Structure 1
Amino acid sequence: MTSRTGFFVLSGVLALVALICVGEGVQLIATGKPLGVGLGLCAFVIPVIGIWFLRQTVRFGRDSERLARELEAEGGLPVDELKRTDGGRIDRASADAVFARRKAEAEAAPGDWRVFFRLAVAYADAGDVPRARKTMQHAIRLHRTTGADATATGGTGTDRPARSNA
């Protein structure tokens, strides 16, 4: 099952669960008992949380794909230079070497979303998906603050000074 197919299947399941929760919530509120009304109102919160999570996931996927298309147009997508085992798995030492190089690039250019995009890919290749996601989110934030200005002016987005957290 591809990621996209899995996403649509889980989205459908979420919609079904949301409908069931709302239906059960209405029935609980209709009892008129304080506990039933309280549980019924809580049943309305579950679909809201699920829909919010789904929205965030769709937004993240859309934004990261947009960055990938932009990098591809610039010729800056990371090249797959990883060594693989006979079974097709990524060689850990190879992934660590690429990761170290990408991390050094990100430290050298902390305001460039492109290096953080490539670092996120390196994290994913190394098997650290939570850090890959956080790093991609950072790249998306950097693109929003520097990429839009650079696109409008024809610059690269790296000529702006990095913002200080102090």
Structure 2
Amino acid sequence: MKGKIAVIVMAVLLVFYLLLAGVRAIAFVQSGEPVGIAIGVALLVLPLIGFWALAREITFGIRSERLVRQLDELGGFPSNDLPVRPSGRPYRDAADAQFPAAQAEVEAEPENWQSWLRLGLAYDASGDRKRARGAIRTAITLERTR
């Protein structure tokens, strides 16, 4: 729940920033000076890139959360019996021990979104966020094309 609130706050702040930057950008463009026009265009382009990135992350979060719920409803959610630190993150050694099974499952069924999602969750438990996101994106793509 904290994560969703943080995303909403960041989205609201980004929209506020876009509005302020847009007003400034228009003022710079209307100045008629080449440098002012260049600054105005940059003020419009850079926030739009930020908005695109935020929209992409929100979409990823919504889709991955939906898949996790779906996997849980199907009874395919991996066991959550890993020992955890006081922060709630699993100990890496314990998470790494479960990783080979998830990887073998993907190798056996490379077109199964559930296998890719479990692999993504295993990567995440091991602390490898980049590979976790990649595996979860693959799961999302496979689930959408089935």
Give the corresponding residue for 2:70: 70
Q: Does 1:136 align with 2:120?
A: no
Deviation (angstroms), 1:113: 0.5
- Cα distance between partner residues in 2 of 1:134 and 1:26: 39
Secondary structure at the aligned position of 2:11 is classed as helix
- Cα distance between partner residues in 2 of 1:87 and 1:56: 28
**2:67–2:140 Cα contact (<8 Å) kept:** yes
Opposite residue 108 of structure 1, the aligned amino acid is: A
- Cα distance between partner residues in 2 of 1:52 and 1:30: 26
Deviation (angstroms), 1:3: 1.0
- Cα distance between partner residues in 2 of 1:133 and 1:142: 14
- Cα distance between partner residues in 1 of 2:26 and 2:20: 10
Give the corresponding residue for 2:127: 127
| Superposed counterparts of 1:1-166, under 5 Å | 2-85=2-85, 89-146=89-146
TM-score if structure 1 supplies the norm length?
A: 0.81
TM-score if structure 2 supplies the norm length?
A: 0.91
**1:21–1:46 Cα contact (<8 Å) kept:** no
Deviation (angstroms), 1:69: 2.0
**1:18–1:46 Cα contact (<8 Å) kept:** no
Unaligned runs of 5+ in 1: 147-166
Deviations 1:19-38 (A, max 9, x none): 12111101111211111112
**2:26–2:40 Cα contact (<8 Å) kept:** yes
Q: What is the number of residues matched between the two proteins?
A: 146
Deviation (angstroms), 1:85: 4.8
Opposite residue 130 of structure 2, the aligned amino acid is: P
- Cα distance between partner residues in 1 of 2:35 and 2:27: 12
User: Which one has more relative contact order, counting CA pairs under 8 Å at least 6 apart?
Assistant: 2
Change (3 A) 1:77 1:39: same
Secondary structure at the aligned position of 2:110 is classed as coil
RMSD: 1.7
- Cα distance between partner residues in 2 of 1:10 and 1:118: 29
Unaligned runs of 5+ in 2: none
Give the corresponding residue for 1:150: none
- Cα distance between partner residues in 2 of 1:20 and 1:88: 39
